Amino acid sequence: MEHQEGERGTRTRVREADGQRLRSLALAALLLALTGIGVSVAAAARTAENAAARSRGAFKLAAMQAQANLGLEVQRDTDLLAGIAAFIQESPRYRPAEFRRWAADTRAVARYPELIAMAATESAPRPGTCPVTTLAGQPTAMRYATLAQHSICHGKGVVALSTQDPNIVDFGLSLGGIRFLGQSVAVYRTATPPATAAGRRRAFIGWATIAVDPATLLGEARRNLAGLGLALTTTIDRRLTFTSGTLAHNAVWRARLAGDLTETVTGTVQGSSIFADGSALAALAGGSVVSVLLALTLFLLGTGRARAMRIVADKTGELAFHALHDSLTGLANRVLVMDRIGHALARCGRGGPPVAVLFVDLDGFKNVNDTFGHSAGDELLRTVGARLDRLIRDTDTVGRIGGDEFVVVLEPDGGGPGPELVAARVLATLAQPVTLAGDIEVRLTASIGIAVGCNLDTEELLRDADLALYAAKRAGKSRYVVFEDAMQAAIADRLGLELDLGRALDHNQLYLVYQPTFRLDGLQVSAVEALVRWQHPTRGLVAPDVFIPIAEESGLILEIGRWVAAQACMQAAAWRSRGLEISIAVNISGRQLDEPGFVQDVRAILGSAGLEPAALTLEITETSLMRDPEQVAVRLHELRDLGVRIAIDDFGTGYSSLAYLRELPVDALKIDRSFVSGPASSGDSAALVNTLVALGRTLQIETLGEGIEDESQLQRLLDANCELGQGFLLARPAPAEQIEALLVGSAGTEPVDPNEDGIPTS
Ligand code: C2E
Ligand code: MG
Ligand code: MG
């Protein structure tokens, strides 16, 4: 009886304990479900916020694009204006027919769809008349009004002097139902506009004027930017606003363009509510469902041991998978890739065919990450991974071994396509645009290095593919390159050169030669340019075209450039102390210009050499100018404040706009020698030289022709009225002593040819 009582008591306790366990299990499951749902809500809110941020980012990007487009349109128009001004200056006594012919030659109507009228107006115009060349027959009803300083031809609208420059007039007009924007520039007989109003009136020879249709201008700027609205406002005297596109919006971007023009870009961006974004909703729903399922699993786990064992087994498999695969793309990771290569190499060692490895690297992936954020970058990597995976056969392996680096291992069974064919296919699939975050379309290219081998180890094969990849990047990206033994040697060679260059300064292997530049009328020396040379202990003389790029890539250029400038300034100061009034030009690399302390360095170098700033010209290549135009502009103005002169080197090889140049404190343009003596120096280039010289004059910038090698080239520059020249015909680069002899000896006579450059001239 007692025993029975005891048994019943135990059973009751067991049942109670079971009930207790079930209750706490249920409670834990409920808590888990609730926490999961809470986390899902937070994640969804974040997703929505991210989507909104992305949408704002995309709008900002598009708005900046629109701004850049419009800025470019306005610049193009300003360039045309400069062209008309140059025409007037070249032929002040032109007849209307000549202007019309010039207008036809420049094909302005076809090239500037926004152009309504362009005009070259004469000096001393009679009131009530206006010799305007109009295009498309409108607007003809222009007449003169007198402004504070000049007469100008205009209609009934608003005309005012530009706030920035007394020689430029911006106007917005509404005339006979046609609304247009215009700009006029005063043209003077003298190269520089006289300082006083009376002087200006005397030297004035005419106005160059253009009138453009704002609707076309804005339409062009909005091309490919559907969904944006654009407004252009001039605030000269009276406010005039021109618009294009839908202006319904919840986002606005405003920017000042040149002069008095303000651009407003409007558009619609996504809000940050969870319900505004599909993926946020999906995250919420998905997260909640998963939480509930997890809670259920926990509950069932607690109630079924067999089930638990099965789940443990699944998890173990999952862990094994994770150990060998990349979590982002699901592709093989480095460990598995190396393993596969190792096996293939082993089979090859036993008499199988050689193994091919493709090292794939995306070009410009960092930009995507920086511009659109890491989640967009991840999405891109997943897409790339999936595309590669689809492309290869089941027996081949594709893996991700780092950031944006993918590796394809081709199984050497002899049957499949060769590695180069696979590489070509990879380039083609990756070139397809990728849509990120639903609406950002990006286009990427890839570079591929291929290595094929048998009797080497895994690391070596991968390293060869990597070297080939490096070669592909250097050759201009977006291509594949197959590894060759010579690559190893070339890279070792370059590395050796870089190491030697690091020691060159300390071992006094660098020295300067100087090449004079000349005023072309009278052929007197105007300045000398310092050019660096490297006397290598075993290789002999190394040309700057070879070692300057290495110095730039490695950063050594900063030290070398500082040394060159100091050396050149000291030499110039020494010459000047001996009574030779010579100024010196020094080449400056873009890397140096980027340095925050650059201006300070120049000031210190001038100070310790005792050279006045005006005797130093810094030559900056046009290409390095274009790398970061805004930053460069700031730097150049600082240099100008210091008092040094600035020349643009190798001009014509870059794509800088003349309107941009006008904003910069530039004293001289050195027209690249390819236009003067290069293979392309005939025909078109000759015309280009004429244009560059004429426009240089309009912008009041001296022009210098580089690389004059024979009399006919010299004559062509003289015909174009180019002021300055440099080249082997006039004088070769030479050591300081020879230049000094030339400076002392010349004093206005024909230059002697020092001819001691030491660099082969072919
Ligand atoms: P650059 O500044 O345009 O210098 C003019 C180059 O043209 C010099 O070559 C000069 O020797 C060459 N040259 C002059 N007249 C003629 C000619 O009639 N025909 C031909 N074919 N060539 C002519 P160099 O000395 O080999 O310098 C090449 C470039 O290396 C320079 O071009 C400049 O960009 C760079 N460089 C030279 N020294 C320095 C330096 O100290 N610092 C930096 N950053 N770059 C330098
Ligand atoms: Mg130069
Ligand atoms: Mg040059």
Q: Which domains does the chain have, with CATH numbers?
A: 67-267 (3.30.450), 320-483 (3.30.70.270), 497-745 (3.20.20.450)
> Alpha carbon of 492 to those of 205, 453, 549: distances in Å?
64, 21, 16
Whether residue 139 is preceded by a cis peptide bond, meaning omega within 30 degrees of 0, is yes
Confidence of residue 360 (pLDDT cuts 50, 70, 90): very high
Determine the average pLDDT of the residues in 129-154: 35
Model confidence over 143-157: pLDDT tens digits? 333 332 233 343 333
Torsion of CA 321, 327, 333, 336, to 10 degrees: 0
599 close to ligand 1 (CB < 6 Angstrom): no
| Pocket flag, ligand 1, residue 548 (CB < 6 Å) | yes
H-helix segments, 304-362: 305-324, 334-349
Structural contact between residues 490 and 704, judged by C-beta atoms closer than 8 angstroms: no
**Is ligand 1 within 6 A of the CB of residue 298?**
no
Give the pLDDT of residue 258: 61
pLDDT of residue 226: 73
3-state secondary structure of 258: coil
For residue 187, the model assigns a pLDDT of: 76
The pLDDT-based confidence of 625 (bands split at 50, 70, 90) is confident
- Closest CA to ligand 1's atom 17: 707
DSSP 594: H
Which of 592-596, 601-605, 688-692 has the largest mean confidence? 601-605
Which of 57-71, 234-248, 380-394, 630-644 has the weakest average pLDDT? 234-248
Take residue 354 and report the two structure tokens written for it: 């050689």
Nearest ligand for residue 585 CA: 2
Please say if the pLDDT value at position 661 is more than 90. no
Separation of alpha carbons 54 and 47, rounded Å: 10
The DSSP bridge partners found for residue 453 are 355
Per-residue confidence (pLDDT) for residue 97, from 0 to 100: 67
Asked if the model's pLDDT at residue 730 lies above 90, the reply is yes
Residue type, position 325, single letter: H
Pick from 230-234, 306-310, 625-629: least confident: 306-310
Q: What percent of the chain has pLDDT over 90?
A: 37
Q: What is the pLDDT of residue 18?
A: 65
Ligand 1 contacts CB of residue 672 (under 6 A): no
Exposure string over 425-449, b if 16+ CB within 10 A, otherwise e:
ebbeebeeebebbeebebebebbbb
Residue 119 or residue 244, greater confidence = 244
* Band (38; pLDDT cuts 50, 70, 90): confident
What digits encode the pLDDT tens for the residues 544-567? 999 999 999 889 999 999 999 999
pLDDT of 422 higher than 90: yes
Residue 237 clears pLDDT 50, i.e. is over it: no
Q: Is the pLDDT score of 16 beyond 60?
A: yes
Q: What is the mean pLDDT of the chain?
A: 80
Q: How far is CA 126 from CA 183, 700, 717, in A?
A: 21, 30, 39
The protein residue with its alpha carbon nearest to ligand 1, atom 2, reads 587
Looking at residue 683, its pLDDT comes to: 65
Distance 473 CA to ligand 1 centre (A): 27
The pLDDT of residue 601 is 96
Q: Which residue's alpha carbon is at the smallest distance from atom 43 of ligand 1?
A: 587
652 Cβ inside 6 Å of ligand 1: no
**Winning range, highest mean pLDDT, from 17-21, 198-202, 346-350:** 346-350
pLDDT tens for 477-533 read: 899 999 998 888 888 788 889 989 999 988 999 999 999 999 999 999 999 999 999
For residue 531, report the distance from its CA to the centre of ligand 1, in Å: 6
The beta strands (E) that lie in 571-653 are given as: 584-588, 616-621, 645-651
Q: Which of 256-260, 289-293, 560-564, 626-630 is the most confident on average?
A: 560-564
Query: How much is the pTM?
Result: 0.52
Q: What is the pLDDT of residue 321?
A: 78
Residue-level pLDDT at 749: 41
